[in-house]
Amino acid sequence: MSPTATVKDVTEATFTAEVVEASRTRPVVVDFWAPWCGPCRQLSPLLEAAAARYAGEVDVVKVNVDHAASLSRAFRVQGIPAVKAFRGGAVVAEFTGAQPAAVVEQLFRSLMPSEAERLAAAAAMATGTEQERLYRASLDAQADFPPAVVGLARILADRGDVQEAKALLARVPADADARRLTAELDLGANARDDDALAALRGRVEAGEAGARVELGAALAAAGRHQEALEVLVQAVGDLDVRAAARAAVLDIFEVRGAGDDLVRTWRPKLAAALF
């Protein structure tokens, strides 16, 4: 394949930046080829034509396997031409051998964002009523598209429509961002002012188990997670309030994320309290 304005050579030294990292912004199609390969020369014009048609939306690069043995091994290139499409830092589609134009076109089309993705991406850059309109349009295209669900749910929650936001988030229970926002909303429902916190502390000192859970949840709602965990994990030891206390602790873990230092510290403490 001869270089063009839209197709460039990538080496082992530049592959990570030009392909893996670049594909996090937009898809990259990689042609593993060699100058002596006849089928490679047959495929080259089709890839070049596709690169021109999809310029600005899909990048196309080529890797000479004669000078990239490590890459060939890493990506299991067993025959050439080998075409591999990267998106989000990983291979998402591929084929081997000279293919007809229809196959090449299908590969490129499969990399293009869906209507829901396009609208949600536009919404993320918009503000105000236009942002909400775009998120709703994205959900009209795909009712369970996670970025649109979470984006719209946050808008709804910010203006006080918490129940509507939680109902929307229930469409994508497996999505990490949706779980995190749901946990935020659950904790936020327990917000208390200083006088109410003082009253809760008094009830805790009086030995009221349920007040301990309320206090921990209220502290969590205020973002005082360390204090909240101290109160809630202690409450887990009481069988009468264990379920509620554990649920509040897990909400804090969800909000902060699995890799958070506070979560790593308190997760084994929660386990010890439970067992």
pLDDT tens figures, 132-150: 999 999 999 999 999 999 9
1 confidence band (pLDDT: 50, 70, 90): very low
Sheet holding 59-64, edge to edge: 7-9, 59-64, 28-33, 82-87, 90-96
d(CA 208, CA 202): 9
User: What's the whole-number mean pLDDT along residues 228-233?
Assistant: 94
Which helix H or strand E contains 151, and what residues bound it?
Answer: helix 146-158
**pLDDT at 33 > cutoff 90:** yes
3-class secondary structure per residue, 7-25:
EEECCCCCHHHHHHHHHHC
* Catalytic residue selected from 28, 29, 40, 232: 40
DSSP state of 238: S
Q: Are strands 28-33 and 82-87 parallel, antiparallel or unpaired?
A: antiparallel
Q: How much is the pTM?
A: 0.67
- Rounded to an integer, what distance in angstroms lies between the CA atom of residue 74 and that of residue 84? 12
Binning pLDDT at 50, 70 and 90, where does residue 4 land? very low
The residue ranking higher by pLDDT, 3 or 163, is 163
Q: Confidence class of residue 94 from pLDDT cuts 50, 70 and 90? A: very high
- Residues in a beta bridge with 93: 85
Phi and psi at residue 143, in whole multiples of 5°? -65, -20
Is 80 exceeded by the pLDDT of residue 240?
Answer: yes
In contact, 177 and 242? CB cutoff 8 Å: no
pLDDT at residue 45 is higher than 60: yes
Residue 186 has a CB neighbour count (10 Å cut-off) of: 20
pLDDT in tens, 174-230: 999 999 999 999 998 888 999 999 999 999 999 888 999 999 999 999 999 999 999
37 catalytic? Reply is: yes
Using a pLDDT cut of 70, give the percent of the chain over it. Answer: 98
8 given a catalytic annotation: no
Query: Given 37, 51, 77, 80, which residue is catalytic?
Result: 37
| pLDDT level of residue 125 (50, 70, 90 thresholds) | very high
Look at strands 7-9 and 59-64 and give their pairing.
parallel
Mean per-residue pLDDT, 39-67: 94
Contact indicator for 211, 200 with CB cutoff of 8 Å: yes
Gap between the Cα atoms of 161 and 133, Å rounded: 16
Least confident range from 2-6, 236-240, 249-253: namely 2-6
